[in-house]
Amino acid sequence: MGRYLVTGGAGYVGSHTVLALLDRGDEVVVLDDLSKGHRGAVPTGAKLVAGRCDDPKAVEAAFALGPFDAVLHFAALSLVGESMREPMRYIGENLANVTAVAGAAAKAGCRKFVLSSTAALFGFPERIPIDEDQRLEPASAYGESKLLCERALAWAERVHGMRFAALRYFNAAGADPDGRAGEDHDPETHLVPLAIGAALGTRAPLTVFGTDYDTPDGTCIRDYVHVADLADAHLRVLPLLDHRSVRYNLGNGTGYSVRQVLETVAAIGGRPVPHGLGPRREGDPAALVASSARLRADTGWSPRFPALEDIVRTAWAWHSAHPKGYADRPAA
């Protein structure tokens, strides 16, 4: 049994990772300012410190509940479009969060750090699927901020001996198979919950941006990984940090088009997804799929829910049971 600090543990991927840690018997402390996360997403059994990662008092309070075997860091601004309107905010806050938490970890003697990074580091990739050997050239301030976070952690390793894992992925989707957690963003920008909300009538009809891409059905292809599989990957890299730092791209191995997602939601829900058609959005590549071959080889990771149908089915169950998200649930 270990003890772990999970920053952003009241958010989407973070809360599912907290569940995975608790399920295997670990102790968990969550540090989250609840600006994007939810008290109701923090599972029973985890301790919550409500505060910002760049607040020394909050970070000190969290580390006082240690010692920790590792930090898993999810706290970040993460909207690509918003990052292009507020680039300095994204670069400043995301880098400040990592440096503050990693610095406190080093001071506390915690020498393992797992970063929730992004495949947006690669911008417009040279080939699909995207492997770790491709050129790092972010096309957004969000991607740039995560690249700077990885570089900062490399300095923490060089100076403090802190080994780190950076997991680079695109689209988390789905919900806890047992219905204990799900996706609840405000604003919501992810396709799967937008499509489900449109079908359920809890959200407005969505817009499909671009139908003339060089893809089989003309719509963008993206990589969707079940959130529980992402949580599992974060846990699987922890033993590697006994020996070395690692950087992994993390993908499902199969991309799905926007039309495929809408059709799958309609089939699972038994009702159509109201939507309109719009022009392409500037900067949207035709296809983005990340390879997980290296992660699979090194850790044995393999998604339990690789099929789009399985991903959507768990998401549909969550949103059907919680049409108002965590507002329907009492805080743990």
Q: Which conformational region is residue 270 in: left (phi greater than 0), alpha (psi within -120 to 50 degrees), or beta?
A: left
> How many residues are recorded in the chain?
332
d(CA 161, CA 143): 25
Helix (H) or strand (E) holding 156: helix 141-160
Side chain identity at 142, as an amino acid letter? Y
| The token pair that represents 102 in the structure block | 């990693």
142 flagged as catalytic: yes
For residue 230, the cross-strand partners are none
Contact residues for 85 (Cβ-Cβ < 8 A; gap 6+): none
For residue 278, the cross-strand partners are 209
The residue annotated as part of the active site, out of 4, 90, 142, 248, is 142
- By three-state DSSP, how is residue 74 classified? coil
Residue with tokens 């911008």: 123
**Bridging pattern class, strands 255-257 and 221-226:** antiparallel
Tell me the longest C-alpha to C-alpha distance in the chain.
56
Backbone CA torsion sign across 50, 56, 59, 64: negative
Of 208, 211, 178, the closest CA to residue 318 belongs to 178
Instruction: Tell me which residues are annotated as active site.
Output: 142
